[in-house]
Chain A
Amino acid sequence: MAGPVSVKAALEVAEVLETIVSGCVGPEGRQVLCTKPTGEVLLSRDGGRLLQVLHLEHPIARMMVACVSSHLRKTGDGAKTFVIFLCHLLRGLHAVTDKRKDSLISENIQTHGRHWKNCCQWKFISQALVTFQTQVLDYVMDQYLSRHFLSIFSSSTKERTLCRNSLELLLEAYFCGRVGRNNHNFISQLMCDYFFKCMACESGFEEVFELVDDCFVELNVGVTGLPVSDSRIMAGLVLHRDFSVYCPADGDIRTVIVTETIQPAFSTSGSEFILNSEAQFQASQFWIMERTKAMMKYLESQNVKLLLSSVKQPDLVIFCARLKGISVVECLSSGEVSLIQRVIGLSPFVLPQASSQFEISNTALVKFCKPLVLRAKRYVHLGLISTCSFIPHCLVLCGPVQGLVEQHKDALYGAFKMLRQLFKDLDLNYVTQASDQNYTSSPLIYKNSRESNQLPEVVNGSIQSPHQGTIVKNRDELAKTQTYLKVYSNLVVPSVELETRILCSTPKVTPTDTYQTDETLRCFSPNKTGIIDNHESFTESNSANSTTENTRIEISYENLQVTKTAGKGSMLPVRYKSLEICTSQSYCFSSIPAGCVLPVGGNFEILLHYYLLNYAKICQQSEETMVSMIIANALLGIPKILYKSKKGNYSFPQIYLKALHALQTSQPMVSSQTGLESVVGKYQLLTSVLQCLTKILTIDLVINIKRQPQEIYDQDSEEEL
């Protein structure tokens, strides 16, 4: 069976998904109850999970779900908005194509033919979408939207310190969309407390995020049967198992980790043990016993009071440990072991093979270790003494049913993921078309708008720059790859596609020829003097964007120089040509700095809507105007849903008009809601949706195959969220 794909079909699918998802959006959203085939029940407001449990059959729906899940893997947020936005975009496209079709009908083409014709038309639209995504979006973000950005960091100091108040607002807005409306205040407060308790110093928050994100499973304990308000934070680490031996001890407790059994086995794998007599058997058993005892005695002599083992220890070891007063925790998961290792910097104790002297260098101290009883289940509670910037704390999450506890766990995990994204810089680059086509010597403008270089903790950006010289170097490399791409790609390829490739290659610039890089660097080093620190633009950007405190350094130099210096390479003629092509364009590299936020309640959408409409007005090409208009109008769909239940002054039309008025008269926008949301998340969402839409539009036919899939695992992994 084969069926043509049409915008109409895609729209129908998207509308069904939208009705389900829109019930859960925003602070007024409600819960969805999902049952698993095993009979468990799960509560969720997480769009990704909902789409996953629906087990959709429709091919387009499945593609949408795949797109959503790939987006979620990247950002951990925004599945519901994804669906709504996509649905509005399709609706807009449908309306436009309907109009055009009316004019086409008179031509009386056969249906099949019309289908193909439509496909061609969509192909153009999808190309326009790509153009929009790569050029217009970044341009609008950087040129217009960035002046509205607020920062999560407290603005009073130059250091990047987190502002607790802003973080609370951000988290509250996040949990509003994720957990039941009773609990979002409580959960966001809990997470905020947790985060600040875990943070050893103000500057080390990135390490904390990384660690919590990696080891989230080990850092929380779910307890059912208690009200949610009983959830709390406990200092130390709670292991999800009981002591095998517990010997109370005071003071600091010396600890070792082992990953194998202390009692030597008769034979190790791959070897053969030949027993010739009963005496030999008894002797070897005696030897094993003595050796185990000696080992335990040694541990005792080293004042070890706690033995953490990733494997099950034999009875004899347990028995000896009890005699020697050593507490034992067995069967630790690899996650727990690695977490403990990371926090206290303790590596496992390797048992000596030979029977000579033992030596333990790998011990660490813990403040306390005691049993903890939560709802009749016993846990081990360890007071680890941290050696990194993460002070271990555990989240005890309570709820009347497991489904609710799981929901809170997922939401917390997602929040950490979202925050990790927020603290990364996001690069924007776009091409500004010079209005004059004859403009021959347009300068290449490399804009670097990240945090001022003196700050050591700028980590996440793709290019870490200790001094300005390297920036130039990096930019050179970038320019080189750009030219390489030009060289290798067909010259006829429109610059649009080229740009996307550069976007992908920016984080890991891999020059194919190191010699050439060196050369360029050398050639450019005298050029350093030529770097113009454009003070004018610096002050301008600062005044426009006072809160983000960007230090923008504009480096500009002439195109000709590039050709001259790189001209020594062997591929001179080709490159020269390619440069000729792009002389009339100027490339802008910019970024959304880490920690950029905007107030919630559709602020981002309304702003982008406004600026896109403005952009569309000055745009010459009709395709671009149309796409910009469609996107701008589709953006409004999200605030419309958010304000659906509000009346009077807070209804959507009122809010919208007020915002427009404020923008036109360049007054600050007043938001009725207090929460904040991440700009990077919104931006990524937008690009993901546009990519998904392009994908839908470029497919013209769905071919249904009734056969066992060949590679099961690949398919599975794609469907996984």
Chain B
Amino acid sequence: MSRFEAKKPSLCKSEPLTSERVRATLSVLKGIVTSCYGPLGRLKQLHNGLGGSVCTTSQSSALLANLSVTHPILKILTTSMQNHVSCFSDCGLFTAILCCNLIENAQRIGLTPSTVIKLNKHLLRLCISYLKSEACGCRIPVDFSSTQILLCLVRSILTSKPASMLTRKEIDHISTLILRAFLLTIPENTEDHIILGESIIVPLKGQRVIDSTVLPGILIEMSEVQLMKGLPVKKSDSLKVALFCASLSGDLSDTGEGTVVVSYGVSLENAVLDQLLNLGRQLVSDHVDLVMCQKVIHPSLKQFLSMHRVIAIDRVGVALMEPLSKVTGSQPVGSLGSISPSSYGSVKDLCTAKFGFKHFFHLIPNEATVCSLLLCNRNDTAWDELKLTCQTALHVLQLTLKEPCVLLGGGCTETHLAAYIRHKTCNEPESILKDEGCNQTELHLITEAFCSALESLAASLEHDGGEILTDMKYGHFWSLQADSPSIVNWPDLLSRCGCGLYNSQEELSWSFLRSTCHPFAPQTFLPHEAAGSANYLTLDCFTAKLNGLQVAVETANLILDLSYVIEDKN
């Protein structure tokens, strides 16, 4: 009997953003994300009172996934960030902070939401078209003939995740590994469109980070017992491989919707086992050296195969099937009947390897775009963080391959962009005023709110009470130590800007970021040699940051546009 219950009426609240509670929760969230931002960000320890492992992190993906927010507005904000992160892996905190800043600033100026939204959208369009234009002063094209920029990009990502607990040397090591792993996934003979391979991250916890390594091919973990059985004798220059996706455990396959009546004395198990052994005989006569199965192999068949010096590996799992098929060039077999010879594949060699305390089979391919990244770190939480970071870096490299340019990091893009927008709206306001039907004051207020949201985003890279400066030529980001003397010669105190492109000896003039300075035109067009000049640039992924910017503004607009919140209390 179905139970019918009257639905409870929902709770309806008007003008949710004006409520004190919402503001408070928003600022708490902002506090959390802001304090995590950047290489000097503080770590968060997330632990569930009901059990489960403790997570120490400063990454948006881990942070937002574990936070449970209750207020619907926060929920919109966090899901929006999570969706962005799941698409682009990077720039989650950037997006979250920018969104919070925009909401906060818009509330402070107290204009009608419709004006704010309209102009925010317009300013966003300005930003996007500038970042995409040739004249953009904070974008560097990527030259794939040298690894320098890519290495800088990976290194910036690793540096910005302090919870992986890496030393400078370890960062260098891991970033080289990541880049090598990425390059191994690119096929050598490129046709019209490239299909990238895969890098499989193999965990090895409790080892030194320096022990991490990249190997072409696939590592499959195995027990020590299996190791005892020894390797097949190599007859030719490659080993023949059969890959099964069907279960070889000897259970009956689906018998249809009707009933099957088995007479007394008839053993179907035996019948199936006979079939399995027949299969085994065929494999042996086809000179197969290695049998791998996604599911379970029947012990008798295993025994039979090992008697004929064929190595059987079962329970490979569905995740490894596609890379295995790619590495060996074999077709996963789905039947217990006769196997056509075309579905066999081959590997160049098979060897055993011991890393730490774990034993692996290492399948060495003839030529394939699959590699294994053996990742070590001292403890579980740091390893988890490192793994996430590596995935992010690999994804960012893929995105960069699609859109070959990078943005200057370290807060420089944000301050530069803010300077550009300020200058643009101050000097040519007519077109905007005409398009959007608002007045000069509104435009000025909203531009100020938008730019200061960008600037305070950059400023949240600084966590130790230092001062943030910006130069009046490039509009870059300079940070000043907290305890610097008041009467200063700035060029001596500041060494390099946030991204590392410019140094302080260049006859620049500075001003404090939050002071009201008159708008100036930041220098567009990067110097040509910029790309090759510095070795240690801080760089950001172009695609991810661009999308982050758009998503942040859109989400902020969405939240500002809310007039009611209806909560279903059922």
B563 on interface, CB distance cutoff 8 Å = yes
Alpha-carbon gap, A267 to B547, bound state (A) = 55
A400: contacting residue among B84, B246, B266, B274, CB under 8 A: B84
Given contacts A35-B75, A314-B254, A376-B87, contact A276 B566 (CB under 8 A): no
Give the chain A neighbours of B550 by CB distance below 8 A.
227, 229
Q: Mark B1-29, 1 if CB is under 8 A from A, else 0.
A: 01010011110101010000000000000
Quick one: given A53-B568, A55-B10, A277-B266, are A181 and B114 in contact (CB under 8 Å)?
yes
Given contacts A53-B566, A55-B570, whether A273 and B261 have CB atoms under 8 Å apart is yes
Give A51-64 as 1s and 0s: 1 = Cβ < 8 Å from B's Cβ atoms: 00111110000000
In the complex the two chains form, what is the Cα distance from A267 to B118 in whole Å? 65
**Best-surrounded residue of B14, B87, B335 (most CB of chain A within 10 A):** B335
Among A30, A39, A225, chain B packs the most CB atoms within 10 A around the CB of: A225
- The answer, yes or no, to whether A494 is at the interface (CB within 8 Å) is no
Question: Among the listed B7, B83, B263, B566, which residue makes an inter-chain contact with A50, where contact means beta carbons less than 8 Å apart?
Answer: B566
Q: Does B170 contact A (CB under 8 A)?
A: no
Q: How far is the CB of A371 from chain B (nearest CB, A)?
A: 10
Q: Which of A164-172, A201-209, A280-288, A439-447 forms contacts with chain B?
A: A280-288
Q: Give the CA-CA distance A28 to B561 in the complex, in Å.
A: 10
Q: Which residues of B contact A100 (CB under 8 A)?
A: none
Residues of A within 8 A of B79 (CB): 41, 401-402
A318 to B261: give the CA distance in the assembly, Å: 28
Interface size class of chain B, counting residues whose CB lies under 8 Å from the partner chain: 35 or more
A37 to B568, CA, bound (A): 6
In the assembled complex, which residues on chain B have CB atoms less than 8 Å from the CB atom of A322?
A: 331-332
**In the complex, A224→B558 CA distance in Å?**
15
- Chain A's nearest CB lies how many Å from the CB of B463? 28
Interface residues of A in 691-708 (CB under 8 A from B): 708
Are A267 and B255 in contact, with the CB atoms below 8 A?
A: yes
Interface residue B454 (Cβ < 8 Å from any Cβ of A): no
Complex CA distance for A712 and B333, rounded to whole angstroms? 51
B257 touches A180 (CB 8 A): no
> Given A181-B117, A375-B86, do A30 and B562 touch, yes or no (CB 8 Å)?
yes
CB contacts (< 8 Å) of A278 on chain B: these are: 266-268, 270-271, 274
Q: Contact: A273 with B563, CB < 8 Å?
A: no
Q: Is the CB of A275 within 8 A of B554?
A: no
Whether the Cβ atoms of A41 and B566 lie closer than 8 Å is no
How many residues belonging to A are interface residues under a CB distance threshold of 8 Å? 71
Given contacts A23-B563, A182-B117, A375-B86, contact A289 B337 (CB under 8 A): yes
Which residues of chain B come closer than 8 Å to A271, judged between CB atoms? 258-259
Name the distance in Å between B446's Cβ and chain A's nearest Cβ.
14
> A376-B87, A401-B83, A712-B4 in contact; A315/B246 too (CB < 8 A)?
yes
Kindly count the residue-residue contacts between A and B in the assembled complex, taking CB atoms under 8 Å apart.
220
The answer to whether B470 has its CB under 8 Å from any CB of chain A is no
A272 to B75, alpha carbons, bound, how many Å?
55
B9 touching A56, Cβ below 8 Å? yes
A181 x B561 contact (CB < 8 A): yes
Q: Tell me the chain A residues, 214-271 only, with Cβ under 8 Å from chain B.
A: 224-229, 265-271
Contact with A along B234-275 (1 / 0, CB 8 A): 000000000001100000011111111111001110110011
A281→B9 contact, CB < 8 A: no
In the assembled complex, the CB of B531 is this many whole angstroms from the nearest CB of chain A, namely 29
Q: How far is the CB of B332 from chain A (nearest CB, A)?
A: 7
B566 touches A54 (CB 8 A): yes
Determine the chain A residues whose CB is within 8 A of the CB of B558 once the complex forms: 31, 43, 180, 400-401, 404
**CB nearest to A265 among chain B residues:** B256
A621-656: CB near B (< 8 Å → 1, else 0) gives: 000000000000000000000000100000000000
Contacts of A54 in B (CB 8 A): 9-10, 12, 566
- In the complex, the answer to whether A401 meets B76 with C-beta atoms within 8 Å is yes
> Does A560 sit within 8 A of B, measured CB to CB?
no
Contact of A282 among B271, B332, B554 (CB under 8 A): B271
Which B residues are CB-close (under 8 A) to A181?
114, 117-118, 561
Given contacts A180-B561, A265-B254, A266-B258, contact A34 B83 (CB under 8 A): no
Q: A112 on the interface (CB 8 Å rule)?
A: no
Q: Decide if B266 touches A315 in the complex (CB within 8 Å).
A: no
The B-contacting residues of A in range 417-436, CB under 8 angstroms, are none
Residues on A with beta carbons closer than 8 Å to the beta carbon of B83: 224-225, 400-402
B260 near A33 with CB under 8 A, answer no
- B residues less than 8 Å from A227 (CB atoms): 547, 550-551, 554
Whether A35 contacts B9 by the Cβ 8 Å rule is: no
What residues of chain A lie closer than 8 Å to B551, measured between beta carbons?
Answer: 225-227, 400
Nearest residue (CB) in A for B124 is A227
Contact (A316, B263) CB under 8 Å given A33-B72, A229-B550: no
In the complex, chain B residues whose CB is within 8 Å of the CB of A229: 550
Q: What residues on B are CB-neighbors of A382 within 8 Å?
A: none
Is the beta-carbon distance between A55 and B12 smaller than 8 angstroms? no
User: Which residue of the partner chain B has the closest CB to A32?
Assistant: B564
Flag whether B557 is at the interface (Cβ < 8 A). yes
Residue contact B258 to A281, C-beta cutoff 8 Å? no
A3 to B274, CA, bound (A): 80
Asked whether, in the complex, the Cβ of A286 is within 8 Å of the Cβ of B257, the reply is: no
Residues on B with C-beta less than 8 A from A182 are: 117-118, 121, 554, 557, 561
Q: Which of A1-34 contact B (CB under 8 A)?
A: 19-20, 23-24, 28-34
Which residue from chain A places its CB closest to the CB of B553 in the assembled complex? Answer: A227
Q: A54-B10, A182-B557, A323-B343 are in contact. Are A708 and B266 (CB under 8 A)?
A: no
Q: Which residues of B contact A645 (CB under 8 A)?
A: 112
> Counting CB contacts under 8 A, is B340 at the interface?
yes
A33 and B334 contact, Cβ closer than 8 Å, known pairs A276-B263, A400-B554: no
Q: A672-714: which residues lie under 8 A (CB-CB) from chain B?
A: 708-709, 712
Q: List 25 A-B contacts (CB under 8 A).
A: A23-B14, A29-B563, A34-B566, A35-B72, A43-B76, A50-B564, A54-B10, A54-B12, A55-B570, A181-B117, A181-B561, A272-B259, A273-B255, A273-B260, A277-B266, A278-B267, A278-B271, A281-B268, A282-B274, A315-B335, A316-B334, A400-B551, A401-B83, A404-B558, A645-B112
Residues of B within 8 A of A (CB): 2, 4, 7-10, 12, 14, 16, 72-73, 75-76, 79-80, 83-88, 112-114, 117-118, 121, 245-246, 253-263, 266-268, 270-271, 274-275, 331-335, 337, 340, 342-343, 547, 550-551, 554-555, 557-558, 561-570
Q: Which 6 A-B pairs have the closest CB atoms?
A: A265-B256, A267-B258, A319-B334, A225-B83, A315-B334, A269-B257
| Further contacts, 6 of them, CB under 8 A, given A55-B8, A275-B268, A400-B80 | A30-B562, A32-B565, A227-B551, A268-B256, A314-B334, A319-B332
